[in-house]
Structure 1
Protein backbone atom coordinates (compact mmCIF):
# COMPACT_ATOMS: atom_id res chain seq x y z
CA UNK A 1 0.00 0.00 0.00
CA UNK A 2 3.11 2.14 0.07
CA UNK A 3 1.87 4.86 2.43
CA UNK A 4 -1.36 5.63 0.61
CA UNK A 5 -3.87 7.26 2.93
CA UNK A 6 -6.98 7.35 0.77
CA UNK A 7 -9.00 4.30 -0.09
CA UNK A 8 -9.54 4.06 -3.86
CA UNK A 9 -12.73 2.03 -3.81
CA UNK A 10 -14.76 -0.16 -1.49
CA UNK A 11 -15.03 -3.53 -3.20
CA UNK A 12 -17.27 -4.88 -0.42
CA UNK A 13 -19.82 -2.18 -1.23
CA UNK A 14 -19.34 -1.86 -5.00
CA UNK A 15 -19.23 -5.60 -5.79
CA UNK A 16 -21.02 -7.28 -2.88
CA UNK A 17 -21.69 -10.42 -4.92
CA UNK A 18 -17.94 -10.87 -5.53
CA UNK A 19 -17.14 -10.16 -1.90
CA UNK A 20 -19.78 -12.66 -0.72
CA UNK A 21 -18.41 -15.30 -3.11
CA UNK A 22 -14.88 -14.64 -1.83
CA UNK A 23 -16.08 -15.06 1.77
CA UNK A 24 -17.87 -18.31 0.89
CA UNK A 25 -14.77 -19.64 -0.85
CA UNK A 26 -12.64 -18.54 2.09
CA UNK A 27 -14.92 -20.51 4.44
CA UNK A 28 -14.73 -23.64 2.28
CA UNK A 29 -10.93 -23.37 2.09
CA UNK A 30 -10.70 -22.91 5.86
CA UNK A 31 -12.78 -26.04 6.41
CA UNK A 32 -10.43 -27.99 4.11
CA UNK A 33 -7.34 -26.85 6.06
CA UNK A 34 -7.37 -28.30 9.57
CA UNK A 35 -3.86 -27.03 10.40
CA UNK A 36 -4.54 -23.39 11.25
CA UNK A 37 -0.87 -22.83 12.16
CA UNK A 38 0.18 -23.45 8.56
CA UNK A 39 -2.65 -21.33 7.21
CA UNK A 40 -1.58 -18.41 9.41
CA UNK A 41 2.08 -18.75 8.46
CA UNK A 42 1.40 -18.94 4.74
CA UNK A 43 -1.13 -16.10 4.72
CA UNK A 44 1.32 -13.84 6.50
CA UNK A 45 4.23 -14.83 4.24
CA UNK A 46 2.28 -14.34 1.01
CA UNK A 47 1.00 -10.98 2.29
CA UNK A 48 4.56 -9.92 3.14
CA UNK A 49 5.76 -10.84 -0.35
CA UNK A 50 2.87 -8.98 -1.96
CA UNK A 51 3.38 -5.92 0.23
CA UNK A 52 -0.14 -5.97 1.66
CA UNK A 53 0.14 -4.13 4.98
CA UNK A 54 -3.59 -4.52 5.65
CA UNK A 55 -3.45 -8.31 5.31
CA UNK A 56 -0.17 -8.73 7.21
CA UNK A 57 -1.62 -6.75 10.10
CA UNK A 58 -4.90 -8.66 10.09
CA UNK A 59 -3.34 -12.13 9.83
CA UNK A 60 -0.69 -11.47 12.48
CA UNK A 61 -3.47 -10.46 14.88
CA UNK A 62 -5.46 -13.59 14.02
CA UNK A 63 -2.39 -15.79 14.49
CA UNK A 64 -1.73 -14.19 17.89
CA UNK A 65 -5.37 -14.79 18.89
CA UNK A 66 -4.93 -18.45 17.92
CA UNK A 67 -1.87 -18.70 20.16
CA UNK A 68 1.05 -18.59 17.73
CA UNK A 69 4.06 -17.21 19.59
CA UNK A 70 5.14 -13.66 18.78
CA UNK A 71 8.72 -14.83 18.22
CA UNK A 72 7.56 -17.10 15.42
CA UNK A 73 5.50 -14.35 13.82
CA UNK A 74 8.47 -11.97 13.91
CA UNK A 75 10.62 -14.51 12.07
CA UNK A 76 8.31 -15.43 9.19
CA UNK A 77 10.05 -13.09 6.74
CA UNK A 78 13.38 -14.77 7.51
CA UNK A 79 12.14 -18.33 8.04
CA UNK A 80 15.02 -19.84 6.06
CA UNK A 81 17.52 -18.29 8.48
CA UNK A 82 16.18 -19.79 11.71
CA UNK A 83 15.50 -23.19 13.21
CA UNK A 84 12.26 -21.94 14.81
CA UNK A 85 10.10 -23.56 12.12
CA UNK A 86 9.25 -27.24 11.81
CA UNK A 87 9.78 -29.25 8.62
CA UNK A 88 6.04 -28.89 7.91
CA UNK A 89 6.20 -25.13 8.47
CA UNK A 90 9.19 -24.86 6.14
CA UNK A 91 7.53 -26.91 3.40
CA UNK A 92 4.36 -24.80 3.66
CA UNK A 93 6.30 -21.51 3.63
CA UNK A 94 8.36 -22.58 0.61
CA UNK A 95 5.16 -23.63 -1.17
CA UNK A 96 3.57 -20.26 -0.34
CA UNK A 97 6.58 -18.42 -1.72
CA UNK A 98 6.72 -20.38 -4.97
CA UNK A 99 2.98 -19.94 -5.61
CA UNK A 100 3.07 -16.24 -4.73
CA UNK A 101 6.12 -15.50 -6.89
CA UNK A 102 4.85 -17.11 -10.08
CA UNK A 103 6.32 -14.31 -12.18
CA UNK A 104 9.81 -15.43 -11.14
CA UNK A 105 9.56 -18.95 -12.57
CA UNK A 106 7.42 -22.00 -12.97
CA UNK A 107 6.09 -23.67 -9.87
CA UNK A 108 9.16 -25.23 -8.31
CA UNK A 109 9.26 -29.02 -8.50
CA UNK A 110 11.61 -29.04 -5.49
CA UNK A 111 9.14 -27.02 -3.42
CA UNK A 112 6.29 -29.28 -4.53
CA UNK A 113 8.32 -32.37 -3.65
CA UNK A 114 9.12 -30.89 -0.22
CA UNK A 115 5.45 -30.10 0.36
CA UNK A 116 4.38 -33.54 -0.81
CA UNK A 117 6.91 -35.15 1.54
CA UNK A 118 5.22 -33.40 4.49
CA UNK A 119 1.59 -33.32 3.37
CA UNK A 120 -0.99 -35.67 1.89
CA UNK A 121 -2.34 -34.93 -1.57
CA UNK A 122 -5.50 -33.48 0.04
CA UNK A 123 -3.40 -31.28 2.32
CA UNK A 124 -1.34 -29.98 -0.61
CA UNK A 125 -4.51 -29.21 -2.55
CA UNK A 126 -6.11 -27.43 0.42
CA UNK A 127 -2.94 -25.49 1.23
CA UNK A 128 -2.64 -24.49 -2.44
CA UNK A 129 -6.21 -23.18 -2.41
CA UNK A 130 -5.51 -21.22 0.78
CA UNK A 131 -2.39 -19.64 -0.72
CA UNK A 132 -4.22 -18.78 -3.94
CA UNK A 133 -7.03 -17.21 -1.90
CA UNK A 134 -4.73 -14.98 0.17
CA UNK A 135 -3.11 -13.81 -3.04
CA UNK A 136 -6.56 -12.79 -4.31
CA UNK A 137 -7.33 -10.99 -1.03
CA UNK A 138 -3.93 -9.25 -1.20
CA UNK A 139 -4.57 -8.00 -4.71
CA UNK A 140 -8.01 -6.69 -3.80
CA UNK A 141 -6.74 -4.95 -0.66
CA UNK A 142 -3.68 -3.45 -2.34
CA UNK A 143 -5.58 -2.16 -5.38
CA UNK A 144 -8.29 -0.65 -3.16
CA UNK A 145 -5.71 0.87 -0.75
CA UNK A 146 -7.38 -0.64 2.30
CA UNK A 147 -6.08 1.27 5.32
CA UNK A 148 -4.24 -0.45 8.16
Structure 2
Protein backbone atom coordinates (compact mmCIF):
# COMPACT_ATOMS: atom_id res chain seq x y z
CA UNK A 1 0.00 0.00 0.00
CA UNK A 2 1.58 3.23 -1.09
CA UNK A 3 0.59 6.77 -0.34
CA UNK A 4 -2.22 7.87 -2.65
CA UNK A 5 -1.37 11.56 -2.63
CA UNK A 6 1.37 13.80 -1.31
CA UNK A 7 -0.95 16.39 0.24
CA UNK A 8 1.91 18.78 1.00
CA UNK A 9 2.77 18.85 -2.70
CA UNK A 10 -0.79 18.78 -4.06
CA UNK A 11 -2.14 21.45 -1.69
CA UNK A 12 0.99 23.18 -0.45
CA UNK A 13 -0.62 26.42 0.71
CA UNK A 14 -3.25 24.57 2.73
CA UNK A 15 -0.69 22.19 4.20
CA UNK A 16 1.60 25.06 5.22
CA UNK A 17 -1.35 26.82 6.89
CA UNK A 18 -2.10 23.65 8.88
CA UNK A 19 1.55 23.41 9.94
CA UNK A 20 1.52 27.08 10.97
CA UNK A 21 -1.62 26.48 13.05
CA UNK A 22 0.07 23.47 14.69
CA UNK A 23 3.11 25.58 15.57
CA UNK A 24 0.89 28.27 17.09
CA UNK A 25 -0.89 25.63 19.19
CA UNK A 26 2.41 24.06 20.29
CA UNK A 27 3.60 27.47 21.46
CA UNK A 28 0.22 28.31 23.01
CA UNK A 29 -1.06 28.13 26.56
CA UNK A 30 -1.88 24.41 26.68
CA UNK A 31 0.91 22.28 28.13
CA UNK A 32 2.77 20.70 25.20
CA UNK A 33 2.62 17.19 26.65
CA UNK A 34 -1.15 17.49 27.12
CA UNK A 35 -1.45 18.82 23.57
CA UNK A 36 0.32 15.75 22.25
CA UNK A 37 -1.72 13.37 24.43
CA UNK A 38 -4.90 14.82 22.93
CA UNK A 39 -3.46 14.50 19.42
CA UNK A 40 -2.46 10.88 20.04
CA UNK A 41 -5.86 9.93 21.48
CA UNK A 42 -7.77 11.48 18.56
CA UNK A 43 -5.44 9.76 16.11
CA UNK A 44 -6.04 6.41 17.83
CA UNK A 45 -9.80 6.88 17.50
CA UNK A 46 -9.45 7.86 13.83
CA UNK A 47 -7.03 4.97 13.20
CA UNK A 48 -4.48 7.27 11.62
CA UNK A 49 -1.29 5.20 11.65
CA UNK A 50 0.90 8.10 10.51
CA UNK A 51 -0.24 10.41 13.32
CA UNK A 52 -0.29 7.67 15.98
CA UNK A 53 3.31 6.84 15.16
CA UNK A 54 4.42 10.48 15.09
CA UNK A 55 2.74 11.46 18.37
CA UNK A 56 3.99 8.37 20.23
CA UNK A 57 7.56 9.24 19.26
CA UNK A 58 7.05 12.92 20.15
CA UNK A 59 5.67 11.98 23.55
CA UNK A 60 8.52 9.54 24.18
CA UNK A 61 11.00 12.34 23.38
CA UNK A 62 9.20 14.45 26.00
CA UNK A 63 9.76 11.72 28.58
CA UNK A 64 6.33 10.07 28.46
CA UNK A 65 6.42 6.56 29.92
CA UNK A 66 5.68 3.41 27.98
CA UNK A 67 3.03 2.43 30.53
CA UNK A 68 1.04 5.61 29.94
CA UNK A 69 1.40 5.28 26.18
CA UNK A 70 0.23 1.66 26.32
CA UNK A 71 -2.71 2.54 28.56
CA UNK A 72 -3.86 5.67 26.74
CA UNK A 73 -6.31 3.69 24.62
CA UNK A 74 -7.98 2.55 27.89
CA UNK A 75 -7.38 5.71 29.93
CA UNK A 76 -10.72 5.49 31.71
CA UNK A 77 -9.67 2.22 33.33
CA UNK A 78 -6.07 3.31 33.93
CA UNK A 79 -4.83 4.78 37.20
CA UNK A 80 -2.01 6.61 35.41
CA UNK A 81 -3.92 9.72 34.29
CA UNK A 82 -4.82 12.58 36.61
CA UNK A 83 -8.10 14.51 36.67
CA UNK A 84 -6.85 17.25 34.32
CA UNK A 85 -5.62 14.72 31.77
CA UNK A 86 -8.90 12.80 32.03
CA UNK A 87 -10.88 15.97 31.34
CA UNK A 88 -8.75 16.70 28.27
CA UNK A 89 -9.05 13.12 27.01
CA UNK A 90 -12.82 13.07 27.55
CA UNK A 91 -13.17 16.32 25.59
CA UNK A 92 -10.88 14.96 22.86
CA UNK A 93 -12.96 11.82 22.47
CA UNK A 94 -16.27 13.71 22.42
CA UNK A 95 -15.08 16.31 19.93
CA UNK A 96 -13.50 13.64 17.73
CA UNK A 97 -16.59 11.42 17.63
CA UNK A 98 -19.15 14.29 17.58
CA UNK A 99 -22.38 12.38 18.08
CA UNK A 100 -25.84 13.86 17.66
CA UNK A 101 -25.42 15.90 20.84
CA UNK A 102 -21.94 17.18 20.02
CA UNK A 103 -19.80 17.57 23.15
CA UNK A 104 -22.02 16.91 26.19
CA UNK A 105 -22.34 19.68 28.78
CA UNK A 106 -20.75 17.58 31.53
CA UNK A 107 -17.68 16.87 29.38
CA UNK A 108 -17.32 20.56 28.53
CA UNK A 109 -17.83 21.61 32.16
CA UNK A 110 -15.16 19.20 33.39
CA UNK A 111 -12.66 20.48 30.82
CA UNK A 112 -13.54 24.07 31.76
CA UNK A 113 -13.01 23.20 35.45
CA UNK A 114 -9.41 22.15 34.74
CA UNK A 115 -8.40 24.64 32.04
CA UNK A 116 -8.53 28.40 31.89
CA UNK A 117 -10.24 30.06 28.94
CA UNK A 118 -7.08 30.32 26.82
CA UNK A 119 -6.10 26.70 27.49
CA UNK A 120 -9.63 25.58 26.67
CA UNK A 121 -9.53 27.55 23.42
CA UNK A 122 -6.21 25.91 22.57
CA UNK A 123 -7.68 22.46 23.31
CA UNK A 124 -10.64 23.12 21.01
CA UNK A 125 -8.25 24.22 18.27
CA UNK A 126 -5.88 21.30 18.88
CA UNK A 127 -8.58 18.66 18.63
CA UNK A 128 -10.08 20.29 15.54
CA UNK A 129 -6.66 20.46 13.87
CA UNK A 130 -5.59 16.89 14.62
CA UNK A 131 -8.91 15.63 13.31
CA UNK A 132 -8.26 17.59 10.10
CA UNK A 133 -4.77 16.09 9.84
CA UNK A 134 -6.22 12.60 10.42
CA UNK A 135 -8.80 13.22 7.71
CA UNK A 136 -5.98 14.02 5.32
CA UNK A 137 -3.60 11.19 6.25
CA UNK A 138 -6.17 8.36 6.39
CA UNK A 139 -7.70 8.89 2.90
CA UNK A 140 -4.32 9.60 1.30
CA UNK A 141 -2.83 6.56 3.05
CA UNK A 142 0.06 8.51 4.51
CA UNK A 143 2.37 6.05 6.25
CA UNK A 144 5.02 6.46 8.94
CA UNK A 145 8.65 5.65 8.26
CA UNK A 146 9.64 2.05 8.87
CA UNK A 147 12.09 1.93 11.75
CA UNK A 148 14.30 -1.04 12.45
Measured in 2, the distance between the counterparts of 1:54 and 1:67 equals 20
How many matched pairs? 144
Of 83, 96, 112, the residue aligned with 2:108 is 112
Helix, strand or coil: the match of 1:56? helix
1:56 counterpart = 2:82: no
Runs ≥4 residues deviating over 6 A? none
Measured in 1, the distance between the counterparts of 2:38 and 2:55 equals 10
Q: Aligned residue for 1:130?
A: 126
Measured in 1, the distance between the counterparts of 2:101 and 2:6 equals 33
- With normalisation by structure 2, the TM-score equals 0.93
1:29 is displaced (CA, Å) by 1.4
Measured in 2, the distance between the counterparts of 1:76 and 1:135 equals 17
Does the aligned pair in 2 maintain the 1:44–1:60 contact within 8 Å? Answer: yes
Q: Aligned residue for 2:8?
A: 12
- Give the unaligned 5+ runs of structure 1: none
CA RMSD of aligned residues (A): 1.1
Q: Aligned residue for 1:82?
A: 78
- Give the unaligned 5+ runs of structure 2: none
Q: Aligned residue for 2:117?
A: 121
Of 102, 117, 139, the residue aligned with 1:143 is 139
Measured in 2, the distance between the counterparts of 1:122 and 1:39 equals 13
Of 98, 101, 111, the residue aligned with 1:102 is 98
Measured in 1, the distance between the counterparts of 2:140 and 2:31 equals 30
1:31 counterpart = 2:46: no
Does the aligned pair in 1 maintain the 2:29–2:118 contact within 8 Å? Answer: no
Per-residue CA deviation, residues 30-55 of structure 1 (Å, 9 max, x unaligned), is 12144112112111100000010110
